[in-house]
Amino acid sequence: MTTHLTREPDGEWVHLACRTQIAADGIGLCLGTLSDARGSIGEVSQPLLVRAR
């Protein structure tokens, strides 16, 4: 997971809104926006590898 912050969070709570995309071959990416009470504070990304059980 990679995190990029544009500023320090304000307060002790941070909200994470994620969206995930997975291709037919099982390779995917989860992207998220971090925010606090004042608004956006950064982005996160996480590569995914999904396989059937």
SS (H, E, C) the chain: CEEEECCCCCCCCCEEEEEEEECCCCEEEEEEEEEECCEEEEEEEEEEECCCC
What is the spatial distance between Cα 37 and Cα 53, in angstroms, rounded to a whole number?
A: 40
* Predicted local confidence at residue 39, as pLDDT: 97
pLDDT at 51: 86
Q: Count structural domains, the chain.
A: 1
Domain that holds residue 34: 2-49
Per-residue pLDDT of the chain (53 residues; tens, 9 = 90+): 999 999 999 999 999 999 999 999 999 999 999 999 999 999 999 999 998 77
